[in-house]
Structure 1
Amino acid sequence: MDFFAEPKIDGHCHILDPVRFPYAPDVLYRPQGQEIGDQNSLEQVMACYGVRHALLVGPNSGYNLDNRCMLHAIATGAGRFKGVAVVPNDVSAESLQAFKDQGVVGIAFNIALNGLPYYATDLKTLLQKLEKLDLWAQFQVEADQLLDLLPYLQGSQIRMVFDHCGRPVGAKGTEQAGFQALLAMGREGRAVVKLSGEAKFSAQGFPFDDARSYWDALIQAFGLQNCVWASDWPYLKAPFRLDYGPMLKRWENYLTAQERRQLMWDNPKRMFGF
């Protein structure tokens, strides 16, 4: 089968449609130009590359706590989409249940953007609510932030997924402390990791050859069964132009067809209930 025709699920992408869903007034960053990607654009991209489903992540950029654009896509996407919402730290269990009823499978914690203190006061309580509802806690950390997050995760049975390879500092190599802490979580079977976001941590340009040592280490520690592929489309704040096809093509020779099916189809289908 042609690589682009192989069935895939995109484990992390965003929809931004400021015409139909204006940006929130309080956001720090307002995506423009080629960063904007509405539902129709995403569906056309998916059709080109065998991507049958996608996990939409509510972006802090543009929308912050406003999940309406994402929820509309889930509701009108004919089963193509599920979502990860962005919520206030004191969100009620009833509101979380309402999100779940609309196709949300997890809640995002963007520590890389907001810092850990932004979440710390209510974090354990919120994780308990998510655990009771069987929702994922999706963490985006960078550098060594995971080290400070770990005490808040002790004793929790919450399902955890880490974005973008844990966003290590690309130039520091796989031995850096934050990345080693992530690998330890993988070996302990405590979490899932998304193999994505290379533009956010690579010390090189496309095709991000230095990211492969991180992919190798994560697959070894987590096992391929606990890894998910994701595009991170439409590449918010990318330092240079990126395109879906070339980004995806890098995986063709990195994994066998059977391994690709596990990473790009079987795993996210099982984990996120597609």
Structure 2
Amino acid sequence: MSIFDEPKIDCHNHLFDPVAYPYHPDAPYAPSGQEVATLTQWEEVMAAYGVCNALLVGPNSGYHTDNRCLLAALAAGQGRFKGIAVVDNAISLDALAALQAQGVVGVAFNPALYGLQTMDGAEARLAKLAELGMFAQIQVCDDQLLELHGLLERSPVRLLIDHCGRPNAAAGVGQPGFQALLKLARSGRASVKLSGMQKFAAADALHAQSHAYVQALIEAFGPHACVWGSDWPFIRQSSRIDYGPLLKLAERLMPDPQLRREIMWDTPRRLFGFT
């Protein structure tokens, strides 16, 4: 049985439907053309590749803090989808609980896009998420995690780190930011997405340049704290990315079928509450 036949949950993907849900005026980027990705199109991709469930990530691009497109998809999915929302800094506990009741399991923080200043005053949001048992999904790049390590260690919130921490592919696993990510595994509250290799590795060397990082993460976090994601529909990419080759990349990075089942099925079901 190949990876295409195995049960899978994709834990990082986005929807962009500007006809039904116009973009937020403050969004940093407006996906267009082949980047537009409706729920119907996403369900067709899932069916083609044997993806059973998905963790839909509310994007900063396009929608910023407008979660209507995300929430509509969660409602339409009737439990097939869970969500990560983008919210205002001052969101109340009650508003977070209302999102949680609709299938949102966490909130996205994106220093990789907005800089470390986006985490100023984040303690209050992290505390609210911790109170509700929700995730703080954090996307960093290079050595940004060094600056955040103390904050994340102090907070009791459940952590979900995007895209292997987006290391500098040329700097090796010993680079300080990636080592800070490996240390987070000791907290017992952190999980990591084995996703976004195309964000830090060259398109023609995805396996060669990501292999060492993926293996180090699996060893440090264990398969019980690793999940997989595609980052579909691959916005702002400098070269072509396709879903099928990314699945074959996952198969090469995780050649053991039992390991793949745990990371791509068992762990996300447990972490995010898929039935």
Match of 1:202 in 2: 201
Distance 1:91 1:136 in 2: 15
Structure 1 residue ranges without an equivalent (≥5): none
2:236 counterpart SS class: coil
2:91 corresponds to 1:94: no
Deviations 1:65-121 (A, max 9, x none): 000001000001232111000001110001001100110000000111111212312
Which residue is equivalent to 2:19? 19
For structure 1, which segment, 101-110 or 197-206, has the greater mean C-alpha deviation from structure 2 after superposition? 197-206
**One-letter code of the match for 2:215?**
D
Matched residue count: 273
- CA change 1:234–1:128 in 2 (3 A) is same
Q: CA deviation at 1:13?
A: 0.5
Q: Which runs of 5+ in 2 are unaligned?
A: none
Given that residues 160 and 190 in structure 2 are in contact (C-alpha distance below 8 angstroms), is that contact kept between their aligned partners in structure 1? yes
1:82 maps to: 82
What's 1:222 paired with? Answer: 221
Question: What is the identity, as a one-letter code, of the residue corresponding to 1:150?
Answer: H
State the partner residue of 2:143. Answer: 144
Q: Counterpart amino acid of 1:137?
A: A
Task: Indicate the larger mover: 59-68 or 154-163.
Answer: 154-163
Contact 2:162–2:192 (CA<8 Å) still a contact in 1?
yes
Q: Is the 2:134–2:158 Cα contact (8 Å) retained in structure 1?
A: yes
Mapped to 2, the partners of 1:223 and 1:201 lie a distance apart of 22
CA distance in 2, matches of 1:33, 1:171: 32
Greater Cα offset, 58-67 or 253-262: 253-262
SS in structure 2 of the partner of residue 18 of structure 1: coil
Could you tell me the TM-score, scaled by structure 1's length?
0.96
Give the drift of 1:204.
5.0
CA shift at 1:188, angstroms? 4.2
SS in 2 for 1:171: coil
**Could you list the per-position Cα deviations for residues 168-227 of structure 1 after superposition, in whole angstroms to 9, with x for gaps in the alignment?**
011111111000110111244341000000111114535442101110111111111110
Deviation at 1:247, TM superposition (A): 0.8
In the alignment, what sits opposite 2:45? 45
Match for residue 188 of structure 2? 189
- Paired residue type of 2:8: K
* 1:234-273 paired onto structure 2 within 5 Å: 234-253=233-252, 254-273=254-273
SS at match of 1:205: helix
Q: Matched residues in 2 for 1:206 and 1:41: separation?
A: 28
User: Secondary structure of 1:138's partner?
Assistant: strand
How far apart, in 2, do the equivalents of 1:269 and 1:147 lie? 30
Q: Distance in 1 between matches of 2:123 and 2:34?
A: 38
Render the CA deviation track for 1:36-59: whole Å, top value 9, x for unaligned. Answer: 111001101001111110000000
Contact 1:89 1:119 (C-alpha < 8 Å) held by counterparts: no
The one-letter code of the counterpart of 1:265 is W
Question: CA separation in 2, counterparts of 1:63 and 1:201?
Answer: 24
Superposition TM-score, scaled by structure 2 size: 0.96
Over aligned residues, Cα RMSD in angstroms?
Answer: 1.3
Instruction: Tell me if the contact between 1:204 and 1:210 (Cα under 8 Å) persists in the aligned partners.
Output: no
Q: Does 1:117 align with 2:107?
A: no
* Aligned 8 A contact 1:93 1:129 in 2: yes
* Structure 1 segments (4+ residues) deviating >4 Å: none
CA contact (8 A) 2:167 2:200 kept: yes
Residues in 2 aligned to 1:130 and 1:207: alpha-carbon distance in whole angstroms: 34
Partner amino acid, structure 2, of 1:258: Q
Matched, 1:175 2:163: no
Residue number in structure 1 paired with 2:127: 128
Identity of aligned residues (%): 53
Instruction: Please give the alpha-carbon distance, in whole angstroms, between the structure 2 residues aligned to 1:207 and 1:151.
Output: 31
SS in 1 for 2:142: coil
Distance in 2 between the 1:142 and 1:152 partners? 17
